[in-house]
A and B are shown apart, each in its own frame.
Chain A
Amino acid sequence: MTPPLLAVEELVRRYRRPRAFPWRRGEAVAALSGVSFAIARGRSLGIVGESGSGKSTLARLVMGFERPDAGRVLFMGEDLAEAPPARLRQLRRGLQMVFQDPVGSLDPRHRVGRIVGEPLDMLDGAARGDRSARVAAALRSVGLGASDAQRYPHEFSGGQRQRIAIARALITRPALIVADEPVSALDVSVQAQVLAVMKALAAEHEVTYLLISHDLAVIAYVTVDVAVMYRGAIVETGPTAAVLERPLHPYSQALKEAAPRLVAGRRRHRTRPAAPPGEPAAAGRGCAYAERCPLAQPRCREEAPALREVAPGRRAACHFP
């Protein structure tokens, strides 16, 4: 059996807070506490969560920018952290990233051709031969022209710059692209340009995405499966359409309810529910969401729920889904 494109096993990453007193060590905080999932080829996965949920830490660990404190990241069955340097370079071709900020991620002093072609430089000589043709092809795949290679990043709009960043990711013909909030810095009227390019590449170039976004509509458009993260753990996962249609975890439900909708005056003239009690879980025990959960029971503050199958193809970490 072929291994999944990407498998993440029990990933843990802790950071130390800045020390409160010079003679004390900073407190350790788990940004990720045991995250596992697998992505099969062609089944792009969306990661949804708010700030502090660990979604960007997850991206950095998958890319190998940082080492996990525990757990493994397997790309096509191989652990990037264990691979010898030559093998790592080979594997790296298959794994690329697109960042949130299309201004900061492109070197303003380099022409677009050099920026887009740069990932080729770390490949072996054979692949480098047809560099300008490869750059032109990558630019065309994202809806830009071959002549754009001669221009500088500042000559392009935000949406075009983000497509240049995608062309750079695409040039090594990767199997997986990690995209961390790829459209959230863009104006609404041009987000569609970038998302349409991403979706077309999934079909034409067999690219699979690990797409991180806070925007449920973006996740719904690009991905097949989704994982909802809260405070360093996955609280719900399943097929994107089903999860967004009928979320099972109370946190996923809160996310869906909070997302702005084109409904005139939805927030106007209505009775507001009293704020949830906000009783925190006992230290180190219980469900991390219990203090915000409107449905929390005494058991939720005592015993952490495991991520388990609650309906066919649907998993949620909740005692009362």
Chain B
Amino acid sequence: MALLEVEALGVVIDSPRGPLEILRDVGFALESGRILGIVGESGSGKTMTALALMGLLPPGARAQGSVRLGGRELLRLDEHALCRLRGDRVAMIFQEPMSALNPLQPVGAQIAEPLRLHRKMPAAKAAAEARRLLARVHLPDPDRLAAAFPHQLSGGQRQRVMIAMALACGPDLLVADEPTTALDVTVQAQILDLLVELVEETGMSLILVSHDLAAVAETADEVLVLYGGTVVEHAPVAAMLRHRAHPYTQGLFAARPATGLFRAIPGSVPDLAALPPGCRFADRCPLAIAACGDGPPPLGLVGPGHRAACIRLEAAAATAEAS
């Protein structure tokens, strides 16, 4: 049994025009010690997926489907049970550590908080453990840093503090939502290296949510590509680098200036208030036919562990071959 099993996960929000299915039919399984990357552009549903896993959806949004952690169904847990789980078995880090940290409390005390809450650890012991965690995320001079306030730290240091806090109780799963987007390139590389190092040493699983295909490719074991709230492709990273099955994934690769092709995908990301009944990429897809609008395309197998949701996979494979 995999550590995390997600089946038919959906998120519905109420709008004046009725319920909107902003996330539809997301499924994957994640083993211990593995890294899953979730890639998508704005409105793809990547952050909604992360929040739904954590039971942190905003008011008005409902999750449906199934999320099982170690066999236990999370979507039917009440808030009290979720609170006991979050920060203990599952932890999350965010894009902007400054807004996730309390500006009025020294960072050492903030890292100690989950230990005192979940482990009922006495204050002195928790403070000592916080300093050990600061050293664990390679922050220099942990004794001095534990007494520092968030505004006295750099962006990279603040993200390391967030990671230390997330690690405090030794979680089974860490969800990182765009953890390096607000950081400089060299600092981003260091934070990704730190996350990989922690996965390899502790055996926890990591879900890395990012808009950056390359950052995910070099960090994760497998990747889930989301578009307009649906999974368009799911594959081991190496398999996807060899062969992009879905026209959207192909377009995303070609849209990077680093590649020789370099062309934009025409149009723009879909409006979540006006999602089409069929394939959500059809209006931008060079291979779209009338049948693409009929209904959601099923996830078809294109290789070992490699699936893509498209009814034009053969045509897409032919274009990939040609370019």
Contacts and interface: CB of A to CB of B under 8 A. Distances in A.
Interface of A: 50-51, 157-160, 187-193, 195-196, 214-215, 217-218, 220-221, 254-255, 257-269, 272, 275, 278
A265 B192 CA distance: 11
Given A191-B257, A262-B214, A214 B185 contact: yes
A266 B218 CA distance: 5
9 contacts: A188-B211, A188-B212, A189-B251, A189-B264, A190-B268, A195-B257, A196-B263, A262-B214, A264-B237
Tell me which of B42, B221, B256 has the highest count of chain A C-beta atoms within 10 A of its own C-beta. B256
Contacts of A268: 35, 196, 200, 219, 221
A220 B257 CA distance: 8
Contacts of B265: 189-190
Nearest to B211: A188
Contacts of B264: 159, 189-193, 196
A217 B192 CA distance: 20
A258 B269 contact: no
A188 B213 contact: yes
Contacts of B217: 260-264, 266
Interface in B166-194: 184-189, 192-193
Given A50-B184, A267-B196, 12 more contacts: A50-B187, A51-B184, A157-B269, A187-B268, A189-B255, A190-B255, A260-B188, A261-B218, A262-B241, A263-B217, A264-B241, A266-B217
Contacts, number: 122
A263 B219 CA distance: 9
Contacts of B303: none
Contacts of A214: 184-185
A50 B192 contact: no
B255 to A, nearest CB: 5
Contacts of B96: none
B56 interface: no
A267 B251 CA distance: 25
B51 interface: no
Contact of A50 (B186, B196, B220): B186
A265 B215 CA distance: 10
Interface in B73-102: none
B314 interface: no
B258 interface: yes
Interface residues of B, number: 44
Contacts of A259: 185, 214
Nearest to B237: A264
Contacts of A266: 217-219
A214 B144 CA distance: 32
Contact of B189 (A159, A192, A196, A258): A258
Contacts of B218: 260-267
A38 B105 CA distance: 48
Contacts of A220: 257-258
Contacts of A275: 138
Contact of A188 (B140, B196, B220, B252): B252
A191 B255 contact: yes
B283 interface: no
B90 to A, nearest CB: 22
Contacts of A50: 184-187
Nearest to A197: B264
A50 B184 CA distance: 6
Nearest to B266: A193
B238 interface: yes
A249 to B, nearest CB: 13
Contact of A260 (B212, B252, B263, B269): B212
B214 A261 contact: yes
Contacts of A218: 257
Contacts of A196: 262-264
Nearest to A251: B186
B262 A221 contact: yes
B129 interface: no
Given A157-B268, A214-B184, A257 B189 contact: yes
A188 B258 CA distance: 12
B299 to A, nearest CB: 21
Contacts of A157: 267-269
Contacts of A190: 255, 264-265, 268
Contacts of B184: 50-51, 214
Contacts of B42: 187
B186 A254 contact: yes
Interface in B251-283: 251-253, 255-258, 262-265, 267-269
